[in-house]
């Protein structure tokens, strides 16, 4: 006749607010208010509630709470570049920053042709408070779609749109960075300069090339060759650089990313081409590996940590109070001189 053994050691179902209230001999409101910063609860009541809470191991259900508060404290983090080691640092910074601000990152991986519609649906169904899209190779329209769905969204590593869509952007100033690269190359006497970019559709690649063109044109020069890779990858850099070496006619390469640059360096190594004397190479991003002795790559540094904090603060602020006018934060880059460009 016994229905079940209710003698289990620990409660298999988690304690609820109501149970805590009964145990503490107070109303559910009192319990709720105990966990609501700024709510009015008598110290004595609070004590009783906390004691009951501890004794049953109560944890408020954030999801149920979100139903009333209309805030989940969830921030969607969307990316599609899980093959680029730079993004490790970026994830680290994002997740930690969000955590210290009391938010949780809900990840959407858009690599390998995952559906953007599905990702957007997911973000909506889980009622994220805001979205951070961290990519320069993702179609603008995904970010646009988030905005259209009334999701506060900031595009990190994106490009400011010419006011057409109200999209907030936080990004390194890729054009300025490209200019910097051009200057360094010019200063050191390189005159036949190639641009080795990532995907042609990536706005970052496009802007870095524009910057390079800018600075070269001041000296009545233009990039000799422009080639694009399928990705910001070592492999692409290797293959494209082999091709550039075969065709000849250049004495330096500005690579749109460090992975590309390191691939290019390896192509030079295998062809017996001396870097930096026969061939100057400059990268972009200043990822950790670029500093390793095997490469010691001269590159354009972007202030990643600043970019990330700015992005997080921005998204949290527009969650708080929406703003119509698209905000744009562009961060200056600086050149980090190592060994792949000859002395000035």
Partner DNA sequence: TGCATGATTGCAAGGGCTTGCACTATGGTG
Partner DNA sequence: CACCATAGTGCAAGCCCTTGCAATCATGCA
How many beta carbons lie within 10 A of that of residue 336, not counting itself?
15
CA distance 15 to 251: 70
- Min. distance of Cβ 333 from a copy of itself in angstroms? 22
Contacted entry of DNA, a copy of itself, none for residue 43, CB cut-off 5 to 8 Å set by kind: DNA
69 near a copy of itself (CB under 8 A): no
- The one among 12, 37, 43, 249 contacting DNA by CB under 7 A: 43
Choose, by CB under 7 A, the member of 22, 50, 65, 165 that binds DNA.
65
Picked from DNA, a copy of itself, none, the partner binding residue 295 (CB below 5 to 8 A depending on kind) is a copy of itself
117 scored as a contact of a copy of itself (CB under 8 A): no
Closer to DNA by CB, 16 or 317: give it: 16
Q: Does 69 bind DNA (CB under 7 A)?
A: yes
Closest to DNA by CB, 26 vs 250, is 26
Owner of token pair 């562009």: 330
> How far apart are the C-alpha atoms of 85 and 274, rounded to whole Å?
27
Does 124 bind a copy of itself (CB under 8 A)? Our answer is yes
If one asks whether residue 265 binds a copy of itself (CB under 8 A), the answer comes out as yes
Please, which residue, 69 or 243, has the CB nearer to DNA? Answer: 69
Alpha-carbon distance 116 to 141, whole Å? 10
Taking CB under 8 A as the rule, does residue 121 contact a copy of itself? yes
Closer Cβ to a copy of itself, 214 or 306, answer by number:
306
Q: CB under 8 Å to 257, separation ≥6 — which residues?
A: 84, 198, 232, 283, 284, 285
Sequential DSSP letters for 24-73: HTS-HHHHHHHTSTT----HHHHHHHHHHHHHHT----HHHHHHHHS---
Tell me the C-alpha distance between 111 and 334, whole Å. 29
Supply the DSSP string of 137-183, one letter for each residue: SS-HHHHHHHHHTT--EEEET-----SSS--EEEEE-HHHHHHHHHH
Q: Residue 131: beta bridge partners? A: 76, 153
Q: Are 226 and 195 in contact (CB under 8 A)?
A: yes
Q: Choose between 2 and 68: whose C-beta lies nearer to DNA.
A: 68
231 binds DNA (CB under 7 A): no
Q: How far is the CB of 205 from DNA (least distance, A)?
A: 41
Q: Which stretch binds DNA (CB under 7 A): 58-66, 75-83, 273-281, 301-309?
A: 58-66
Q: Are strands 130-134 and 168-172 parallel, antiparallel or unpaired?
A: unpaired
Q: Is 125 in the site for a copy of itself (CB under 8 A)?
A: yes
* Minimum CB distance to DNA smaller for 29 or for 109: 29
104 binds DNA (CB under 7 A): no
CA distances to 74, 230, 252, 262, 266 from 238, rounded to whole Å, are 40, 12, 15, 8, 6
E strand or H helix that includes residue 92:
helix 86-100
Q: Which residues bind DNA (CB under 7 A)?
A: 13, 16-18, 26-33, 35-36, 40-45, 58, 60-61, 64-65, 67-69
Q: Which residues bind a copy of itself (CB under 8 A)?
A: 10, 12, 14, 57, 59-64, 66-67, 72, 74, 77, 82-85, 87-89, 91-92, 95-96, 99, 104-109, 111-112, 114, 118, 121-122, 124-127, 148-150, 234, 262-263, 265-266, 269-270, 288-289, 292-295
């Amino acid at each position: 006749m016994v229905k079940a053994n209710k003698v289990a050691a620990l409660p298999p179902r988690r304690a609820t607010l109501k149970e805590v209230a009964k145990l503490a001999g107070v109303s559910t409101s009192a319990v709720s208010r105990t966990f609501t910063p700024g709510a009015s609860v008598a110290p004595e009541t609070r004590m009783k509630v906390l004691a009951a809470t501890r004794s049953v191991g109560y944890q408020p259900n954030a999801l149920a709470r979100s139903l009333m508060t209309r805030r989940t404290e969830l921030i969607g983090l969307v990316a599609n570049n899980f093959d680029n080691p730079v993004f490790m640092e970026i994830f680290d910074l994002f997740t930690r920053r969000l955590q210290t601000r009391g938010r949780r990152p809900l990840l959407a991986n858009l690599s390998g042709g995952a559906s953007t519609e599905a990702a957007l649906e997911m973000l909506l169904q889980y009622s994220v408070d805001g979205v951070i899209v961290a990519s320069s190779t993702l179609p603008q329209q995904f970010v646009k779609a988030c905005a259209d769905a009334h999701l506060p969204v900031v595009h990190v590593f994106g490009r400011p749109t010419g006011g057409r869509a109200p999209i907030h952007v936080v990004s390194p100033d890729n054009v300025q960075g490209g200019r910097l690269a051009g200057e360094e190359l010019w200063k050191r006497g390189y005159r036949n300069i190639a641009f080795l970019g990532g995907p042609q559709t990536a706005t970052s690649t496009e802007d870095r090339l524009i910057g390079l063109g800018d600075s070269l044109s001041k000296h009545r020069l233009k990039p000799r060759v422009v080639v694009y890779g399928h990705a910001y990858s070592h492999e692409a850099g290797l293959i494209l650089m082999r091709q550039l070496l075969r065709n000849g006619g250049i004495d330096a390469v500005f690579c749109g990313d460090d992975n590309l640059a390191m691939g290019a360096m390896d192509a030079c190594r295998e062809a017996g081409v001396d870097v930096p004397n026969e061939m100057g190479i400059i990268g972009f991003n200043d990822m950790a590996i670029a500093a390793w002795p095997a490469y010691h790559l001269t590159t354009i540094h972007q202030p990643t940590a600043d970019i990330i904090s700015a992005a997080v603060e921005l998204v949290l602020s527009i969650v708080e109070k929406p703003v119509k006018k698209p905000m744009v934060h562009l961060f200056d880059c600086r050149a980090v001189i190592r060994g792949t460009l000859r002395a000035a």
